[in-house]
Structure 1
Amino acid sequence: MASISSAWALYAKLVLSTASTHSIATETGRWNNHILKHFDPDCEIESITSMNLLEFRSSLIGKKLSPQSISHCLSLFRRVLQRAKQWKLISGELPSFDMPRFDNKRIRFLTKEEANELLLCVSLKSSLWHDICVLALHTGLRSGELFKLRPCHFDSQNSALHVLDTKSNSNRTVPLNKQALEVLSRNISRKELIFTEHGKQILYAGRTFRQAVEICRLNSHTQDRRQRVVFHTLRHTFASWLVQSGIPLAVVGQLLGHKSMQMTMRYAHLAPAQGVSAVKALEQFTNSVNLE
């Protein structure tokens, strides 16, 4: 009988080891701090029931974890057990996972005034983070995509940036405007990565960005995490500004690297006039008839 610890050891070696350093640390933390704190390391996989999983979920709720964090813990546990089944470590059926349902999408984006104030505040603290924020605002890249950029990804001849090994596993090319080109031109060097801090790879947006947000009081009006300004808000701002400028949602989704149009539709409410223009375009195809 396979234990959850033996299943995790194989999962960490064969699957998780190929992930980023940040992902390895995050997933290992979830396993050690939550899953192993509830289940005994020698717990046999085939002894775990759906009731046990509901009890585990309740314990996570009791820790006051966010719905997304609870979902991440359950999803990790499910993946480990599914791999154990795939590798024939167990023969029985796996218990069912009752995953929490929630709408956790961040919807906050910056106004032009807020963005300029934030960039000014960041620039006073760090020219590096000012440039990172400007590039995020003008390309819509995820933080992980920004921090993995290499000089070879910058196509100066065609004013484009090649984004590889993305979260959606789909490479894309993002055109660059004047502001983005200026940032890349002054940060390109012989370094292996375009952006580094203290000679090391940046893994996530840290203290400098958070302090600037706090100084600008961008989160002073809300405790709802969906409304709070975080680094990812720059990506939402990029998309929101494009939609408000009349750029079709399909183009916005392509620039963001979305897997499906459904992901881009969260921005549809920002361009109600596009629907009006669309139906007005049909007027040319039929003749009006005066029924009086």
Structure 2
Amino acid sequence: MFKRSDIWWTCISHNGRKVQKSLETSDKKLAQAIEAKIRTEIVEGKYYERLTGQCKTFKDMMDRFMKEYAPTVSLNTQEGYKYYLKNLSRFFDNPGLMTITPKIVAKYKLYRRDNGASPSTVNRELYMLSKAFNLAVKEWEWLKDNPVSRVQKERENNEVDRWLTEVEERRLLDNSPDWLRKIIVFALNTGLRQDELLSLEWSRVNLLRKTILIQKTKNNKPNTLPLNSIALNVLMQKHEGKVRSLKNDLVFISKSGTKIGKRNLIRAFAQALEKAEIKEFTFHCLRHTFATRLAQNGVDIYKIAKLLNHKDLKNTQRYSHHCPESLMIGVQILEKFDYNLTTMAQKGG
């Protein structure tokens, strides 16, 4: 047996058959008794998996998802789930789970698109919904199928080639409050993702070695990054003027000493963009700006991939067209092989 969000689970294997399910109790003795009964039924060939989704509703599923699964992810992701759930609940209301079909999920996608949601937002909401249905199918034994799995996701344009010019950067910084200005400058000089930046702790900062350790990354691979003088200066200012928060060890915190909420950051960033009259730009574009500037100044793609912590070099290839100087350096290396074709032609007659 094992625990998940204070609830006991069992995983029993017998003659090639595997049964993993919630025992639906936090009482260990009761859980052991239930597990023993299930084990006996499996051995005797009397155990049949029962689907209980007939009496379950959309609200039942999402309530359990938020109670049991949501606490296992990061606080930023939990905030996102709360926002996505509001949009999902507004459309689905509270129907029986078995009445939700791929056709209805596709209608939700259209509904969100008509209400101005971006493709990436719609896909994140569908991902959350699909995760909840997967749990209902595979672990809670409520349903046989996940209706979201048969709905095509929105097409996202992940190749947006947008970065800040120096003029735009100055306007953006001039129109940002001090706390946001420091975050923007740090992002432009480290290329950190929003979640990585907001979760950065002082225990992961080494001012002497001029490095930071990013523990939780998108590809789940820790990464130690070097700091240039600009990024280091931001941290030195934060370190000298900081009041240690009693609640956490975060580098970037709100005035009250708590973690800066993702929504609050995006709202403040959007306001600064509007004041600076910068169009079609998101916080993630700061990361693109970081990589683009590296490429434009001759840094090779492999180093850029390492700094961005890209698992697959394909994700970094978008910046290759910014590297003409780097490519020139590459071919100039071959100039040491001076063939002197004129002399060779004379010798050859």
TM-score, normalising length from structure 1? 0.83
Structure 2 gaps of 5+ residues are 1-51
Describe the shift of the 1:5–1:211 C-alpha distance in structure 2 as closer, same or farther (beyond 3 A).
closer
2:162 corresponds, among 108, 114, 117, to 108
1:97 is displaced (CA, Å) by 2.1
What is the identity, as a one-letter code, of the residue corresponding to 1:136?
A
1:129 is displaced (CA, Å) by 2.5
1:164 is displaced (CA, Å) by 1.7
Asked whether the equivalents of residues 299 and 326 of structure 2 are also in contact (C-alpha less than 8 Å), the reply is no
1:18 is displaced (CA, Å) by 2.3
What is the identity, as a one-letter code, of the residue corresponding to 1:80?
A
What is the identity, as a one-letter code, of the residue corresponding to 2:209?
N
Judge which range, 6-15 or 277-286, deviates more: 277-286
2:202 corresponds, among 139, 151, 154, to 151
SS at match of 1:259: coil
Describe the shift of the 1:91–1:129 C-alpha distance in structure 2 as closer, same or farther (beyond 3 A).
closer
1:280 is displaced (CA, Å) by 5.7
2:260 corresponds, among 188, 195, 202, to 202
What is the identity, as a one-letter code, of the residue corresponding to 1:41?
N
2:153 corresponds, among 93, 99, 110, to 99
Question: Highest Rg: 1 or 2?
Answer: 2
SS at match of 2:212: strand
1:248 aligns with 2:306: no
Asked whether the equivalents of residues 74 and 97 of structure 1 are also in contact (C-alpha less than 8 Å), the reply is no
SS at match of 1:162: strand
1:193 aligns with 2:250: yes
1:233 is displaced (CA, Å) by 2.4
1:244 is displaced (CA, Å) by 0.7
Describe the shift of the 1:209–1:98 C-alpha distance in structure 2 as closer, same or farther (beyond 3 A).
closer
Asked whether the equivalents of residues 296 and 325 of structure 2 are also in contact (C-alpha less than 8 Å), the reply is no
Higher relative contact order (CA 8 A, sep 6+): 1
1:38 corresponds, among 76, 91, 95, to 91
Asked whether the equivalents of residues 299 and 323 of structure 2 are also in contact (C-alpha less than 8 Å), the reply is no
1:245 is displaced (CA, Å) by 0.9
Asked whether the equivalents of residues 297 and 325 of structure 2 are also in contact (C-alpha less than 8 Å), the reply is no
What is the identity, as a one-letter code, of the residue corresponding to 1:75?
Y
Aligned-pair Cα RMSD in Å: 2.7
2:109 corresponds, among 57, 74, 80, to 57
Describe the shift of the 1:136–1:117 C-alpha distance in structure 2 as closer, same or farther (beyond 3 A).
same
What is the identity, as a one-letter code, of the residue corresponding to 1:30?
Y
SS at match of 2:121: helix
Judge which range, 84-93 or 160-169, deviates more: 84-93
What is the alpha-carbon distance in structure 1 between the residues aligned to residue 123 and residue 267 of structure 2? 27
Counting aligned pairs with the same residue, the percent is 27
SS at match of 1:161: strand
Counterpart of 1:11 in structure 2 is: 65
Counterpart of 1:182 in structure 2 is: 233
What is the alpha-carbon distance in structure 2 between the residues aligned to residue 258 and residue 76 of structure 1? 24
Counterpart of 2:31 in structure 1 is: none
What is the alpha-carbon distance in structure 2 between the residues aligned to residue 159 and residue 25 of structure 1? 32
Asked whether the equivalents of residues 68 and 104 of structure 1 are also in contact (C-alpha less than 8 Å), the reply is no
What is the alpha-carbon distance in structure 2 between the residues aligned to residue 98 and residue 251 of structure 1? 35
What is the identity, as a one-letter code, of the residue corresponding to 1:250?
Y
Deviations 1:109-130 (A, max 9, x none): 11223223433443xx42x322
What is the alpha-carbon distance in structure 1 between the residues aligned to residue 276 and residue 113 of structure 2? 33
